[in-house]
Structure 1
Amino acid sequence: MYNYNTLLSRAYSKLPARRGSKAYDIPSLEIDYAGDHTMVKNFGYVCDRIRREPRIAMRFFLKELAMPGSLDDKNSLIIYRRVTSKSLQELYSRFLETYVRCATCGSYDTELGREGKVWYIQCLACGAKTYVKPI
């Protein structure tokens, strides 16, 4: 029969290693306007920092706004209508809460994955896997 400390150390040895305890820096969006168009100039950088494909994040933004848009060669998001910066920042916060932040530990150190038609967030800090609504 095992004692409590032996079982506890064995359980901890099976857990994935934590990748770090430093705070994760989430950049804000740099929004600019050119006529009727709204541009998020640092969209590629933001997507790189939160470990999301720019095309997937763009699909979320355009679908939620119900507006046309595209990515340019520098991965800047161009929306073909004028959108307020407040609306874009709120949408960005919702994207972070739904598709980036771990529901278990609250870390932003996650990756978005897909198994067939099912999307999930894999946390790199605690190892949790949370299923999310498809984009």
Structure 2
Amino acid sequence: MDYDDQLEKALSESPDIESTGSRFEVPDPNVRPEGNMTVFENFQPVVAKLGRDESDVLKFLQTELGTSGQIDESGRARLTGDFRQDRIARAVEEYTEAFVLCPECGLPDTRLVDERGTRMLKCDACGALSPTGR
């Protein structure tokens, strides 16, 4: 039995493995209106999944949504104004693209570093050093 025959036999006998998608999935924002505020209920789990500082994520959301906000004692983000879930989800996705995912390999194994006064994204998976998306 030659190599090609062995390979064919091994492939035919191995189980099919279906991918369940990316290993990196950010939870969908759970938001609700409260008076003239929008409460981002699961802000802490989202920030934890992103692996970034909560104040950085909040500052990005404030800029992106054109509003003010704060983190309450329960760890929820309270944003001034009425924002739908899909708008906040889009902002979180934009943050993820700009400050979490490596532009070279696409993996989330990154951290923010300062290189000569410039904020950069350092990928621990592929070693790339890239300027942040913003």
Identical-pair percentage: 23
CA distance in 1, matches of 2:77, 2:113: 22
Structure 2 stretches lacking a partner, 5+ long: 1-21
SS of 2:125's partner is coil
CA contact (8 A) 1:50 1:100 kept: yes
**RMSD of Structure 2 on Structure 1 (CA):** 1.7
**Matched ranges for 1:9-88 at <5 A:** 23-88=23-88
- Greater C-alpha radius of gyration: 2
SS of 2:75's partner is coil
CA contact (8 A) 2:97 2:133 kept: no
Instruction: Answer yes or no: is 1:91 the counterpart of 2:107.
Output: no
CA distance in 1, matches of 2:83, 2:26: 22
CA distance in 1, matches of 2:114, 2:60: 15
Counterpart position of 2:19 = none
- What count of residue pairs does the alignment treat as equivalent? 113
Letter of the 1:92 counterpart: V
Structure 1 stretches lacking a partner, 5+ long: 1-21
